[in-house]
Structure 1
Amino acid sequence: MSIGRRGIQSSGVPRVVAIGGGTGLSVLLRGLKEEPVHITAIVTVADDGGSSGRLREEMDMLPPGDIRNVLTALADTEPLMEKVMQYRFSNGTGLAGHNLGNLLLAAMNEISGDFVTAVKGLSRVLAVRGDVLPASNQSIHLKAEMADGSIISGESQIPLAGKRIKRVFLDPPEVVPLEEASRAIAEADAIIIGPGSLYTSILPNLLVRGLFQQIKMSAVPKIYICNVMTQPGETDGFTASDHVTAMYEHLGTPFLDTIIVNTADVPEEVLEKYAEKGSAPVVCDIEQLQTLGLQVVADRFIAYEDGFLRHNAKVVSKKVVSILKRGKE
């Protein structure tokens, strides 16, 4: 019996760990929080762009942006509070470009003297359903070696290089994982990877070796939720199996059990909009995925909201819970 099964027996509620960053993970969590599971979100701290990057540099703190998005997604708050958390100043010397939620985390970090304590404090204020944890309490910089041998420094700069990525790596390479994050993985009843930017949101978490060791050792279902669309500068032309192969090559071993991948057609007008930005639907190459030893869960998993193509959080979340239940049988 795995460690994760003890989590079910002790609490009666399945414990799900979701790993990633960016908007993809946040979209999923909005649906997953409505399901009868306990969620622990483990979030990348490699962000160095925008408001997060400025606060990271000026206040010597972990970047708050991805953490803020996840806190807001899991919060049990009125719509007005969500707008407050996500509000971005457009004017003001020093304020323009900053996000109010980021500033709240920066203030709590200053008050508590510890970023993890700050996140927990804001979680209580927002009545967050579950736990939100950074992958590490260390400052991490993401770098990429491109296909032409050049090195690009900074998570925000990698997709802008206009070159094919050979590999990404952490600086420093020996990052110490947050102990609570490692424990959450060890006690999980299911582990979800993604959705999110493959090289700049997902792999920065998996490259924290202590975390990946826990993931690899776990006997519970490990589910990858594949992106709906390719990402310019990261996964141009990638199929679903290309995403999985990239992870396996970085980590040196297969570790996933299941992939959730969309097969719904994208409306032509939406395709045209995304094509203007160099993005296209991720092809579900089922046979190749099966060759990789994966159980393929392929269905209509998309929704079009606020001008963007997203995963249908409710549908995907229910599919995750059904996989979890099958794993218990």
Structure 2
Amino acid sequence: MKWIQWMRPGLQVKRWALVGFSGIILMALSFTVLMRDFKWSFTNGTALLVGVAGVTLTIFGFYKVMASIMNIFSTSISIQGRGTPLKPNLVHDIKLRARGPKVVVIGGGTGLSVLLRGLKLFTSNITAIVTVADDGGGSGKLREDLGMLPPGDIRNCILALAEMEPTMEKLLQYRFEEGSLKGQSFGNLFIASMNGISNNFEDAVKSMSEVLAVRGQVLPVTLENVTLYAKLENGRIIKGESNIPYKSLEDKSPIERVFIKPKESEAVGDAVEAILNADIVVLGPGSLYTSIIPNLLIKNIRNSLLNTEAIKVYIPNVMTQPGETDGYGAYKHVEALYNHCSGLSLDYVIVNTGDIPKEVREKYLLEGAKLIGFSEEDGNSLKSKDIDIIQDNLIEIKKDYVRHDAIKLSKIIVRLVKG
């Protein structure tokens, strides 16, 4: 029915306008009763009470209307930048995103942040659940020095979902080039500062998200100080997320499995709730063994994935990763997910079928990376697991780096929910 659609949650203007209009009606009824006495007597207590209620509702309703409108304009300014004329359809776009599907994305690394930049154009109801197993680079140093969880992947996801001016994003991504802070990003230090004044890392992330007007929410998968280990096929045990691919290459031995310590780490409660209430849960894109699977090893995450009624989708990377997925096709990625998360069942796998220019391919070959293939055998194996396959050219190349086309990928994800 049209009136139900009219009252659906959106920008929260119509509901408050209705409150204000109701106040006007109450005032009119009150004054009608009072005007019957030409002496303007206030002896009719009921009429007076109705009138006061009407005035109160009118003031409150239209105050909330103005507050909602100001919020729309502040959001619009943060999206387009100060001094830029507002686009005529921007308010409508914000309203549509507020009604968008509830999407949970699980992973870490560059792949996750790339996807989030596309998804936020279609829905504001996004939850990014991010690995905290990282122990390399600036994040690893802060983890070691301050005893905090690694902020790097969290930072990238917050920036991907934030509505901010380009200058602010450049500032938060800035890396110091000299001194004791060399290689450290300002954004990591921002989160470290928030962590210092907050109750815990989760609160710090939420506070930073509020400051940067994040659309959706970014959550660490756990608040426990987890360490990622890998067992190679030659039997060697590797400690530390950043060491795993290098030691695998050094030994010329593929990864057999990965595991975490402490083994019984608890997930963040909001992450579990988001998965259970989601319309669709997306695993990836991202590093298979060091960004995606570590999240699935958190027992509450595994249980919520088994119990949710949401559509479950996996998106493999476009390129293989040396020391992690050398020679992997689409099915071998899924096989690794199933081996590490017993009972998991996927509904869809979204695979790239596009090619890349010769010069870009040669650049990646020098690093030991190739396009992840999708063979007829891959297709048959996935179908045997009752997994539907979505194939498309999903490649976008920026500065000779191969990435997923975030907008095309996001359209596919939203379309799966809408059917």
Which of the residues 201, 225, 232 maps onto 1:139? Answer: 225
Specify which of 306, 311, 319 is matched with residue 404 of structure 2.
311
Amino acid across the alignment from 2:145 = E
Displacement after TM superposition at 1:13 (Å): 3.8
TM-superposed deviation, 1:37 = 4.5
Matched, 1:268 2:358: yes
Change (3 A) 1:65 1:232: same
Between the aligned residues of both structures, percent identity stands at 50
CA distance in 2, matches of 1:14, 1:110: 34
Q: What corresponds to 1:4 in structure 2?
A: none
Q: 1:231-285 deviations in whole A, cap 9, x for unaligned?
A: 0000000000000001111122342110111001222111101000000000113
Aligned twin of 1:28: 115
The one-character-per-residue Cα deviations of 1:194-232 (angstroms, maximum 9, x if unpaired) are 000000000010110111110111122101111100000
In the alignment, what sits opposite 2:293? Answer: 203
> What's the counterpart of residue 390 of structure 2?
297
Deviations 1:133-161 (A, max 9, x none): 00001111000001000100000000111
Whole-angstrom distance in 1 between the partners of 2:169 and 2:218: 17
Flag the 1:9–1:221 CA change in 2: closer, same or farther, 3 A: farther
Give distance in 1, aligned partners of 2:100 and 2:289: 32
Q: 2:317 aligns with which of 211, 221, 227?
A: 227
* 1:109 and 2:195 aligned: yes
Deviation at 1:9, TM superposition (A): 9.9
2:146 is matched with which residue: 59, 62, 74?
Answer: 59
Structure 1 unaligned regions, length at least 5: 1-7
The structure whose residues are more often helix, as a share, is: 2
Change (3 A) 1:176 1:9: farther
Q: Which amino acid aligns with 2:365?
A: A
Say if 2:205 is the partner of 1:119. yes
CA distance in 2, matches of 1:101, 1:275: 32
Q: Which has the higher strand share?
A: 1
- Is 2:215 the partner of 1:129? yes
Structure 2 stretches of 5 or more lacking a match?
1-7, 11-97
Distance (whole Å) between structure 2 residues aligned to residue 9 and residue 170 of structure 1: 41
| 3-state SS, counterpart of residue 367 of structure 2 | coil
What letter is aligned with 1:245?
A: E
User: SS at the partner of 2:230?
Assistant: strand
1:12, distance to aligned residue in structure 2 (A): 4.6
| 2:174 pairs with 1:87 | yes
SS at structure 1 position matched to 2:295: helix
1:277-292 → structure 2 map (5 Å cutoff): 277-285=367-375, 286-292=379-385
**Higher deviation after alignment, 212-221 or 274-283:** 212-221
The structure that has the greater radius of gyration is 2
2:245–2:322 contact (8 Å) kept in structure 1: yes
1:158-179 CA-to-partner distances (Å, cap 9, x unmatched) read 0111131000001110011111
Confirm or deny: 8 A CA contact 2:276 2:310 kept in the other structure.
Answer: no
Query: How many residues are paired up?
Result: 318
- Within 2, Cα distance between the matches of 1:268 and 1:13? 39
Amino acid at match of 1:116: E
**How high is the TM-score relative to the length of structure 1?**
0.94
Partner residue of 1:246? 336
The one-letter code sitting in structure 2 at the alignment partner of 1:73 is A
Aligned pair 1:48/2:135, yes or no?
A: yes
For residues 313 and 222 of structure 1, what CA distance do their matches in structure 2 show?
Answer: 18
Distance 1:19 1:208 in 2: 12
Shift of 1:186: 0.9
The answer as to whether partners of 2:223 and 2:268 remain within 8 angstroms in 1 is yes
SS of 1:127 mapped into structure 2: coil
Partner of 2:261: 171
Given the superposition, is the C-alpha separation of residues 60 and 16 from structure 1 closer, same or farther in structure 2, using an over 3 Å criterion? Answer: same
Give the TM-score taking structure 2 as reference length: 0.74
Matched, 1:181 2:267: no
**Structure 1 CA distance, aligned partners of 2:132 and 2:387?**
29
Q: What letter matches 1:57 in structure 2? A: E
Q: What's the counterpart of residue 324 of structure 1?
A: 417
Aligned to 2:185: 99
Distance in structure 1 (CA, Å) of the matches to 2:352 and 2:270:
32
Matched, 1:153 2:235: no
1:73 aligns with 2:160: yes
Q: Deviations over 1:52-109 (max 9, x none)?
A: 01101110111000000100111111111111111111101x2111111000000110
User: Partners in 1 of 2:302 and 2:411 — Cα distance?
Assistant: 26
